Amino acid sequence: MNNVSEIFGCNVFNDAVMYERLPEATYNKLKSTIKEGKGIDRSIADEVALAMKEWAIEKGATHFTHWFQPLTGITAEKHDSFIAPTDDGHIIMEFSGKELIKGEPDASSFPSGGLRATFEARGYTVWDPSSYAFVKDGTLCIPTAFCSYCGDALDNKTTLLRSMDAIGKQALRVVKLFGHTDVKRVVTTVGPEQEYFLVDKKMYEARPDLMFCGRTLIGTMPPKGQEMDDHYFGVIKPRVAAFMRELDSELWKLGVLAKTEHNEAAPAQHELAPIFTTTNIASDHNQLTMELMKKIADKHGLVCLLHEKPFKGVNGSGKHNNWSLSTDTGINLLSPGKNPAENLLFLISLAAVITAVDKHQDLLRISVATAGNDHRLGANEAPPAIISIFLGDELTGILESIEKGTHYDSTELIKMTVGSDIIPYIRKDNTDRNRTSPFAFTGNKFEFRMLGSASSISDANVMMNTMVADVFKDYADRLEKAEDFKTECINIIRESVKEHKRIIFNGDGYSEEWKAIAKERGLLNLESTVDALPYLASEENVKFFERHGVFSRNEIVSRLEISLENYAKTLHIEALTLIDMMNREVIPAITAYCDTLCKAVFNKQRINPSLDTTVENELIARLSAANSEIYHLTAELKMQVSKAEKIEKEYEKARFYHDHILKTMEDIRRYSDSAEAVVSKNYWPYPSYGDMLFRI
């Protein structure tokens, strides 16, 4: 690997490159746009485009693309070359400011939830100057927003930027009231930790369920899983280490701040964590990370699985969204400081988050609701489907004292020793880490742990930004009218804690006791995607989003339709895949093995009628019974799928898939797995869990 400081950002049209290549006036205008979140000055577009093109060509680029994030969960690209014809039959390399600012892909071919009809094809991609352009695979990639001909958001970036504007505007009002008049902008920052599995490519290609669905629809656990905890943070295997090193190198070239990598809890599971950056850039970088994980894994004879639950019986994969608020002057609004009990800006920001999470539990749950994530949430490996906040004892104590109007005796910094003089003491944090909490305070940020590993981080951050913006607006309205600013701050914090403390829970989120407590507190328990999604388009939520200009009513309805349709399509593909696996492989394999056993019984009895054939007969009976159940359940599943496809309303269709088809698929799996446990490995058609999880 080359020197990291030399390769980092080498394929990015970043600030250093712009400073070197742009005229000073142009650079200053563009820099102001990026730093302060202002609209782009179109007069500089041609100069920026020229410099960008020349730089990209030097990097080997021959094409450019508007790189955008439609509502498919992945990125999209349409490549155009730089060439333009000349009168003498030759070409020149051109790239204009108009081409930089606006592109025109076909909007009707992407999910729109009814916002666009098939014959209404025009859509626009619009340059996002706040996210640097980069060169990837010989193409200049320009991060853009994607909207319809009528201006409706058809992507994840547009609404994310809107939500960042909303929280920036309202948080800035509060920050300035605290005397920070030099602050011009408040932004949210995110560090998304990415979990994933690596499996051997040959084994992957032998599993139709992994290829078509991203998860195994059948499969029994090997004798050893993750119960010994020996994979977590264990020594990284050479093949995986080689993949990680190349991944780091390629991410660094694109300016992605890849920082931490390690083995996760399940065998064959790993994690990559970046350093924090501005939320829209973090979202772009996470999309690049997922793309490169898949591409680089292939080079190493591996496949990267980003499904939330690729293997039943071991931990699934999430994406921990570490979220915070910072000013352009370097103030972190969620940093407690040395004396959090006296830090009013921190406490009012903390109160705003607590209030927002309690008021909008439904939106947070919706932001992580997918068919894949339903297999993971609440499975004693990830946060439960019930939203709660972990604060730790100190912060909880401070808020309780404010609520009661009592003085909080701040504990001094605790030094911890481990009992050996040679080991230096360490400073104890003011909160522990609670891995069972969906929304945990972890020092100077909140860690939202419910996101699925395959999802864009945009949805969750749109919700978080907007709901906290709404609370900051209420706070700012009160504080701007306050006669006694400090007293009003304390009153706001006290009232917020009193009204919304039910959302705070510092205990074991996996326990059955917590479910009962949450129910008593009136907290939502939306166990599945189809339970959660209808809340999105409630009149209260529509007005909430419209109030801050993040979603229009039509955009909300469209996203509800897309989410329901995606849920049904996901289960439709899984059901068809399972039917195919049963009919073409599993049923014939069991039949063939039973035939072998029958022949063994026949041969034994022919040689000596008194020979014991109890084992063979019991296996035949057991497998024949299982095969019969599989056969009839598979036929039933096929009929259910046909029935589901005739249901016109998206919610009713999604509900049918959840209530009936998913259950039948689980029944088939149960019988298939019981058969796999006793069928000879030579007969079973698919690589086993043991092979896939432990042979890399």
Q: What tens digit of pLDDT does each residue of 582-615 get? A: 999 999 999 999 999 999 998 988 888 888 889 9
The answer to whether the beta carbons of residues 651 and 534 sit under 8 Å apart is yes
CA separation (Å) from 240 to 144, 196, 225, 629?
33, 12, 19, 40
439 sits in which H/E element: strand 439-441
What pLDDT does 427 receive? 57
Q: Which of 510, 531, 678 is nearest to 590 (CA)?
A: 678
- The tens digit of pLDDT for each residue in 540-580 reads 999 999 999 999 999 999 999 999 999 999 999 999 999 99
What pLDDT does 266 receive? 87
What pLDDT does 414 receive? 58
Does 182 score more than 70 pLDDT?
Answer: yes
What pLDDT does 606 receive? 87
Structure tokens given for 579: 């039917």
What pLDDT does 290 receive? 97
- Name the DSSP class of 154: -
DSSP helix/strand/coil, 66: strand
What pLDDT does 425 receive? 52
Sort 330 into a burial class: Cβ within 10 Å, 0-12 / 13-18 / 19+.
Answer: exposed
What pLDDT does 567 receive? 97
What pLDDT does 42 receive? 77
Structure tokens given for 503: 């959302």
Structure tokens given for 283: 């979202």
- The tens digit of pLDDT for each residue in 97-137 reads 999 999 988 777 787 777 766 666 778 999 999 999 999 99
When the pLDDT of each residue in the chain is averaged and rounded to a whole number, the result is 91
Q: Which of 660, 659, 656 is nearest to 637 (CA)?
A: 660
What pLDDT does 136 receive? 96
Q: Which of 399, 354, 384 is nearest to 518 (CA)?
A: 384
Domains of the chain: 4-155 (3.10.20.70), 163-551 (3.30.590.10), 566-694 (1.20.120.1560)
CA separation (Å) from 82 to 14, 47, 52, 56, 254?
21, 16, 12, 10, 21
Average pLDDT over every residue of 158-169: 97
Q: Which residues are CB-neighbours of 225 under 8 A, at least 6 positions away?
A: 266, 267, 313, 314, 693
Give 422's pLDDT tier (boundaries 50, 70, 90).
low
Give 406's pLDDT tier (boundaries 50, 70, 90).
confident
Which amino acid, one-letter code, is at 346?
A: F
Average pLDDT over every residue of 521-548: 96
- The tens digit of pLDDT for each residue in 61-107 reads 999 999 999 998 889 999 999 988 877 777 778 899 999 999 988 77
DSSP helix/strand/coil, 70: strand
531 sits in which H/E element: helix 529-532
Give 1's pLDDT tier (boundaries 50, 70, 90).
low
What pLDDT does 428 receive? 57
Average pLDDT over every residue of 479-487: 95
What pLDDT does 423 receive? 55
Average pLDDT over every residue of 179-191: 95
SS (H, E, C) 364-412: HHHCCCCHHHHCCCCCCCCCCCCCCEECCHHHHHHHHHHHHCCCCCCCC
Tell me the percentage of the chain whose pLDDT exceeds 90. 75
What pLDDT does 430 receive? 57
Q: Which of 303, 281, 297, 332 is nearest to 214 (CA)?
A: 303
- The tens digit of pLDDT for each residue in 630-673 reads 999 999 999 999 999 999 999 999 999 999 999 999 999 999 99
List, in sequence order, the alpha helices (H) in 582-647.
587-607, 614-645
Residue 466 has a CB neighbour count (10 Å cut-off) of 26
Global pTM value: 0.93
Give 229's pLDDT tier (boundaries 50, 70, 90).
low
Q: Which residues are CB-neighbours of 153 under 8 A, at least 6 positions away?
A: 145, 146, 147, 159, 162, 551, 555
Structure tokens given for 583: 């009919």
Does 410 score more than 80 pLDDT?
Answer: no
SS (H, E, C) 302-333: EEEECCCCCCCCCCCCEEEEEEEEEECCCCEC
Structure tokens given for 464: 């978080």
Residue 164 CA, chain-centre distance (Å), reads: 18
